[in-house]
Structure 1
Amino acid sequence: MALVSSLAQLQAEPSCPICLDYLRDAVTTESGHNFCHSRIQQCWEDLQDIFPCPVCLQPCPDKSFRRNSQSCLMIDFVKNLPSTEDMRKWQKEKPLCEKHKQVLSLFCEKDLELLCPQCRVSSEHHDHPLAHMEPAAPLTGGNSKATFSP
């Protein structure tokens, strides 16, 4: 469940305090707060001399702010993450091998992929180093019981 709450926190973080949606064309004021470029401009549109930060009211001289490229990249990434509801469903399901319809309980260290017991004996993976793990281990923060075998 820690994964689901962390995901929810991560998805809530990059929001604009003005429109409460994901930041679009993120900019940072001198006070260090992030806003949508268009929203902060709207907020300061009718002001003349003092441009207060909408969060902390610290004055921002000359309507100054910087484009926050790093936030823009992070927001694009966060938008593509599954929703917390999708994650809850995913955590309850045990992933199955598409080919053999068995639970994926092995990890091929050479090919970096999950395998079912039947995949282990296939010609593709029979001599690869494998880790035995609990089926839900990748979703539980790494609490897997791994034993390595040649």
Structure 2
Amino acid sequence: MASNDQVESLAEEAICPICLDFFTDSVSLECGHNFCRSCITQSWDREGRNSCPECREEFTDRTLRVNRALAKLSEKARTLSLNQTEKESKLHCDTHQEELKLFCETDKKLICVICAAGREHKSHSFMPVDEAVETYKEQVKSSIQSLTTNKSAIQEMEEQQKQNISQVREQSQSLKSHVTSQFAELHQILVKKEQHILGEIKDDEEKTLRPMEKNLQDIHENLNSIEEELSKLQGRMEQTDVVLFLKVRGYVSFSFNETAVTAL
């Protein structure tokens, strides 16, 4: 049987330097270096030139030779590596380095046959690992079924809760729309009422101001008349010619509009 070192050495020889995995459809370049066919062609396409990734030697064309010996070596290394990995995956006892083939039901742990014969596990109950796996698989299966049932029940509760939430939101939205509509109608009514009241106030204002403005106009006319008479009298007072002063006959009469004053 091959040792770990031998398997590792063989694996190193069968590893593609580009993908770092076992060769697949191995080919050789003119320089003697080996690669997977897909790895080297993709490298050339990516680089845009036909050169060896190992030694950087360039080639005029893409000449690839199938390396059947390396393909067989790679396949053998792959098989040995898988077998070695499978072997290493088996658990062994830390104390006796024996494979853990038994399960101690008392301590709930894996043990080897030497541990089972020792004093630590004296009078304990054991069963083969495979049988223990099946037994506990049944328990796990039962737990899964129970949890699945609980999950279904909770999912139903979740769905029901989502429906309740959706229903509350719909009712709330409907109520909001109704309130908005009602307040819009009230707003229209208030606007009309406001316009009506403002119209009445405006009418009352015009009725009240109309005679007052007429009186004000009469007052202005009286004032203008008084100003004209005062101006005339002032002119007479300033007359120095006695003849001209006395030439004006009669007396000055002035008609005053008492109605306008009374209206104030």
TM-score with structure 1 setting the length: 0.51
The aligned residue for residue 27 of structure 2 is 27
Q: Is the 8 A contact 1:27 1:35 kept in 2?
A: yes
Aligned-residue sequence identity (percent) comes to: 36
1:61, distance to aligned residue in structure 2 (A): 2.5
Q: Is the 8 A contact 2:7 2:77 kept in 1?
A: no
Which protein, 1 or 2, shows the higher relative CO under an 8 Å CA cutoff with sep ≥ 6? 1
The aligned residue for residue 58 of structure 2 is 59
1:73, distance to aligned residue in structure 2 (A): 1.4
Q: Secondary structure of 2:76's partner?
A: helix
1:40, distance to aligned residue in structure 2 (A): 0.5
The aligned residue for residue 83 of structure 1 is 84
- Amino acid in structure 1 at the alignment position of 2:84: S
1:85, distance to aligned residue in structure 2 (A): 7.7
Structure 2: unaligned runs, 5 residues or longer: 91-96, 99-264
Alpha-carbon distance between aligned partners in 2 of 1:85 and 1:4, rounded to the nearest angstrom: 13
The aligned residue for residue 228 of structure 2 is none
Q: Secondary structure of 2:51's partner?
A: coil
The aligned residue for residue 73 of structure 2 is 74
Alpha-carbon distance between aligned partners in 2 of 1:86 and 1:60, rounded to the nearest angstrom: 44
Equivalent residue pairs, number? 91
The aligned residue for residue 15 of structure 1 is 15
- Structure with more strand by fraction: 1
Q: Is the 8 A contact 1:24 1:36 kept in 2?
A: yes
1:27, distance to aligned residue in structure 2 (A): 0.3
Q: Secondary structure of 2:65's partner?
A: strand
| CA-to-aligned-CA distance 1:26-54 (integer Å, 9 cap, x gap) | 00001111101011000111556x41100
Alpha-carbon distance between aligned partners in 1 of 2:46 and 2:86, rounded to the nearest angstrom: 41
Q: Given the superposition, is the C-alpha separation of residues 53 and 45 from structure 1 closer, same or farther in structure 2, using an over 3 Å criterion?
A: same
Alpha-carbon distance between aligned partners in 1 of 2:61 and 2:72, rounded to the nearest angstrom: 27
| CA-to-aligned-CA distance 1:100-132 (integer Å, 9 cap, x gap) | xxxxxxxxxxxxxxxxxxxxxxxxxxxxxxxxx
The structure with more radius of gyration: 2
